[in-house]
A and B are shown apart, each in its own frame.
Chain A
Amino acid sequence: MTLPPDRRLLTPEEYRQAQDSPEFSELRRRFRRFAVPMTVAFLAWYLLYVLLSTYAHDLMSRQVFGNVNIGLLLGLAQFVTTFAITTLYVRHAGRSTDPIADEMRDRLEAHEFGTPRSEEPTRG
């Protein structure tokens, strides 16, 4: 399959150089710094809720006001945290990872990473 010139894929060497570059390490670090702890946190919070619903029946059935009990409030809190994490993620991506990603993509498209063609691509 032939690709138009602007779509020409990079050489393996260029990808290796880009991967080893300090700005890519920073991009990866910033991406994971948010995604990994947040994933652990929301999964733990969700599993806690499921476990409480299953094994702490009396606690979850305790009424807070009227017929609204702790279980229902914690369930609604799951909605609130989901919306909140979504908003935080969008802000984090916009401020922290998008600028590096955009800049790197421009430079990759201009083939500024690696010294292509002259040497064999290194394979691990």
Chain B
Amino acid sequence: MVELIAADTIGEPAINISIFGVFVLITLVITFRASRKNSSAADFYAAGRNISATQNGLAIAGDYLSAASFLGIAGAIAVYGYDGFLYSIGFLVAWLVALLLVAELLRNTARFTMADVLAFRMRQGPVRTAAAISTLVVSLFYLLAQMAGAGGLVTLLLGVSGEAAQAVTVVVVGALMIFYVLVGGMRGTTYVQVIKATLLIIGALVMTIWVLGTYGFNLSALIGGAISSGGQAVAEPGAQYGLTGVSKLDFISLGLALVLGTAGLPHVLMRFYTVPTAKDARRSVVWAIWLIGIFYLFSLVIGYGAGALVGKAEILAAPGAANAAAPLLAFELGGTALLGIISGVAFATILAVVAGLTITASASFAHDIYASVIKKGQASPTSEVKVARIAAIVIGAVAIGLGILALQAGLNIAFLVALAFAVAASANLPTILYTLFWKNFTTQGALWSIYGGLIACVTLIIFSPVVSGAPLNEATGTSTSLFQGVDFHWFPLSNPGLVSIPLSFFLGWLGTKLSEEKPDVAKYAELEVRSLTGIGAEKAVPH
């Protein structure tokens, strides 16, 4: 199957590569400039906490609008219409949880990582370890999705085919991202995100206006075009999930994971620490909500536009399948030039998100596991940052390995990201909320909730149709499962959120109720007063 792909490559690979190259060059220069200010741990992890609210809002959008949002959602809308739209709504509404309940309180109480808050009132060692493990698992799921997106895109755009060439591309993407993180730290990563978000939103705006212009700025006519290519079903709910009772439950499970996942994503939480105050954290989330919401409105138009102008059948036949919808639409609209720009932006997107994930995972390892658990808080900041840099290399290498494995799977990346959201909503969100708002919450409750949610979620994914036993696609003769030809699945839903999220909330409550130790009342007083007033919050590093 892979050998056929070269013939389907669209556009001029040379143009695609050179536009991407320009982006890499510009961001490398900026990263180098940013590296001059990288001396302390607060610089490396949190960009000295002096990123402005507007910049951070753009950077949050840059972190959040991953390949899943751009390629995955547009593709899901192009192929399944209405059901793809749900992804964007869930991804957006989820930000209200972050805005109303989490962002400011976290900025006021934590220093560098999610575990800073989760372990605040608890026994440090066990809770930090649990939070760090769950940070690493969520980040790896998310990385897997980005790398899978990179693989599909490479095949489509750069004219490379064959597993070896694809693997080389993933290695190049991975090496670049390690470089950004090592040299630029959080500040360099932030600038990469800001540039990428700007490019991505402008690119999507151009495509949106172009598509709407083609249909006389008439949404109904655009949907009519998508219907004539993909059938009436694309305008109605249920094209992807409405077939059976089980798939309907799967849809609800997905919806729950999306809306509760965002506020538990470690790389999103870490962005709140890069601004000077909690009010800036609030302003940056407001920026992010507007940018992300408007972007998703664009992707509705782009998705239906791809369905109408490129056609569902052609999208599904392309390498990368649904993920190829947006690039194919760009080629249909603006030929080689627009395709080159859009694919350059898509690559930039993957690179920037992967860099954000890597710095989060490495910070969590260095700050939570190395400095707090192994060295019992006695590590010098210099050695901590050094460990973070080494961890970034290791995590980058793991991401490259996973990416090469994920290349052939052909899963929709929005769907893969939804699994990362399910893990975040199951393992992290209940403990974050209990810690901030429930006076009697204890260490045992936190551990039961984090490990229970994490283990339940990952176990259910392993024994779901995602990993084995999904029905075969007649057109390609393969299934959407990670492993072909075996079937050990017993859990019917593709997204485990419906089971694992309530379970984690329940375990947090039960673990607390059965706990023999008393909650630390003094620490709760400190947490509550600090979280709401901002007293004792980490300050920006003066330059």
**Are A31's CB and B532's CB within 8 A?**
yes
**B525→A19 contact, CB < 8 A:** yes
Does any Cβ of A come within 8 Å of B374's Cβ?
A: no
The 8 Å CB contact of B526, one of A12, A43, A68, A85, is A12
List of A residues within 8 angstroms of B97 by Cβ: 39
Q: Is the CB of A121 within 8 A of B224?
A: no
Q: In the complex, are the beta carbons of A72 and B82 less than 8 A apart?
A: yes
Cβ B220 vs Cβ A66 within 8 A: yes
What 0/1 pattern do residues 2 to 15 of A give for CB contact below 8 A with B?
A: 00000101101001
Q: A51-B252, A108-B533 are in contact. Are A78 and B522 (CB under 8 A)?
A: no
A24/B532 contact (C-beta < 8 A), A15-B522, A19-B525, A39-B97 known: yes
Instruction: Enumerate chain A residues within 8 angstroms of B93, measured Cβ to Cβ.
Output: 42, 46, 78, 82
Could you say which residues of chain A place their CB within 8 Å of the CB of B530?
15
On chain B, the residues within 8 Å of A124 by CB distance are: 518, 521-522
Complex-state Cα separation, A79 to B290, whole angstroms? 10
Query: Which residues in A have their C-beta under 8 angstroms from that of B282?
Result: 90, 93
Please name all residues of chain B whose beta carbon is closer than 8 Å to the beta carbon of A98 when the two chains form the complex: 279
The answer to whether A101 and B533 have CB atoms under 8 Å apart is yes
Q: Are the CB atoms of B518 and A54 closer together than 8 Å? A: no
Q: Is the CB of A60 within 8 A of B532?
A: no
**B533 touching A47, Cβ below 8 Å:** no
Question: For the complex, what is the distance from the CA of A10 to the CA of B534, rounded to whole Å?
Answer: 12
Given A60-B236, A83-B289, does the pair A71, B529 have CB atoms closer than 8 Å?
Answer: no
Q: How far is the CA of A65 from the CA of B95 in the complex (A)?
A: 31
Contacts of A78 in B (CB 8 A): 89, 92-93
- Residues of chain A lying within 8 A (CB to CB) of residue B242: 54, 57
B residues in contact with A75, CB < 8 Å: 82, 85-86, 89
- Report A61-118 residues with CB < 8 Å from chain B CB: 61, 65-69, 71-72, 75-76, 78-79, 82-83, 85-86, 89-90, 93, 97-98, 101, 104-105, 108-109
Determine if A72 and B235 form an interchain contact, defined as CB atoms under 8 angstroms apart: yes
Query: Do A68 and B223 have beta carbons less than 8 Å apart?
Result: yes
Instruction: Find the A residue at minimum CB distance from B94.
Output: A46
Residue pair B96, A82 in contact (C-beta under 8 Å): yes
* B224 engages A10 (CB within 8 Å): no
Q: A72-B235, A79-B297, A86-B99 are in contact. Are A54 and B252 (CB under 8 A)?
A: yes
Nearest B-chain residue to A83, judged by Cβ:
B293
Complex partner residue of A108 from B89, B101, B223, B535, CB under 8 angstroms: B535
Interface centre among B238, B252, B522 (most CB of A within 10 A): B522
Q: Cβ of B220 and Cβ of A67 under 8 Å apart? A: yes
The 8 A CB mask of A28-66 against B (1 = contact, 0 = none) is 100100110011001100110111011101001100011
How many A-B pairs have beta carbons closer than 8 Å: the answer is 162
B142 contacts the other chain (Cβ, under 8 Å)?
Answer: no
Measured in the bound complex, the distance between the Cα atoms of B530 and A79 in whole Å is 33
B401 within 8 A of partner (CB): no
Residue B331 lies at the interface, judged by CB distance under 8 Å to chain A: no
- Nearest CB of chain B from residue A115's CB, rounded to whole Å: 16
Known: A53-B82, A90-B282. A10 touches B536 (CB 8 A): yes
- Any A CB within 8 A of the CB of B221: yes
Contact B100 A38 (CB under 8 A): yes
Alpha-carbon distance A25/B100, docked complex (angstroms) = 18
Q: How far is the CA of A34 from the CA of B99 in the complex (A)?
A: 12
Inter-chain contact B522/A71, CB cutoff 8 Å: no
Specify the chain A residue showing the minimal Cβ separation from B538: A7
B255 touches A46 (CB 8 A): yes
CA distance A18 to B526 in the complex (A): 9
Contact check: which of B219, B236, B532 meets A101 at CB < 8 Å? B532
Q: Is the CB of A101 within 8 A of B534?
A: yes
Interface residues of B in 222-258 (CB under 8 A from A): 223-224, 227, 235-238, 241-242, 248, 251-252, 255-256
- The 8 Å CB contact of B290, one of A43, A47, A83, A121, is A83
* 29 intermolecular pairs with C-beta atoms under 8 Å apart: A7-B536, A10-B536, A15-B525, A18-B533, A19-B525, A24-B529, A28-B532, A42-B96, A46-B89, A47-B256, A53-B82, A65-B220, A66-B218, A67-B227, A71-B82, A72-B223, A78-B89, A79-B89, A79-B293, A82-B93, A82-B293, A86-B289, A90-B286, A101-B534, A104-B535, A108-B533, A109-B535, A122-B522, A123-B522
* 8 additional contacts (CB under 8 A) given A18-B533, A72-B223: A7-B536, A15-B529, A18-B525, A19-B525, A43-B259, A54-B241, A61-B237, A82-B93
